[in-house]
Amino acid sequence: MSEWEPKIVAFLCNWCSYGGADLAGVSRLQYPANIRIIRVPCTGRVNPKFILAALRHGVDGVWVSGCHPGDCHYIEGNYYARRKFGLLKGLLEHMGIEPGRIHFSWISSAEATKFAETARAVVEKVKAIGPARHFIKRQAEVA
């Protein structure tokens, strides 16, 4: 068995961070392959339930990334998201989720280097805490 590799779900906004990831790809920038990208229209679209659902399915980390404040395609979606995530992260960590599992960032579609760097940082932090242990819903075994 090779060394454990974390699974990380990344919710990337269509207009900025997804573009950033795309640019990182065409620019042949290297970043770890632990990230599973889910494209969303805006970080404002990310319902806290999505993050919970990801944790329940056993992901080791969650990363949400969108446009810089002021650059939202929908003018203010990320401002609302920022408040939502601040409280969400606070409560999750209050309840015992390790700091370092849930990440948020602002990455524009021109910031391919920042995308690759942040991806590396997220993977590193999740690796440091180890595999997810909490909030995982073990599916009933079917005979």
Partner 1 sequence: MYAYTDRIREIARRLLSEDRVDLVIGYRKGTVPFMNEPFAARTPEQADRLWWDSFCGANLANYLPRRTDRVGIVVKGCDSRNVVVQILENQIPRDKLFIIGAPCKGMLDRRRIAAELGGKDALVAEEKNGRVLVQGRGFEVDLDRGAFLQENCSICIHRNPVIYDELAADLVEEQSGVDRYADVRQVEAMTSESRWEYFEELIRPCIRCYACRNACPQCYCPTCFVDESAPQWVGKTLDPTDTRTFHFLRAYHLAGRCTDCGACERACPVGIKVRQFTKKLEKDVKELYGYEVGLSLEERPPLDTFKPGDPESFIM
- How many CB atoms are closer than 10 A to CB 65? 27
- Part of the chain binding partner 1 (CB under 8 A), chosen from 1-9, 16-24, 32-40, 130-138: 130-138
Residue number with CB closer to partner 1 (3 or 43):
43
39 binds partner 1 (CB under 8 A): no
Give the tokens for residue 123. Answer: 């993977």
**Near partner 1 in 44-83, by CB under 8 A:** 48-49, 52-53, 56, 69-70, 76, 79-80, 82-83
88 binds partner 1 (CB under 8 A): yes
Of 96, 101, 104, 107, nearest to 20 by C-alpha is 107
Residue number with CB closer to partner 1 (28 or 45):
45
- Taking the C-alpha atoms of residue 32 and residue 116, their distance in angstroms, rounded to an integer, is 8
Largest Cα separation within the chain, whole Å, is 53
25 binds partner 1 (CB under 8 A): no
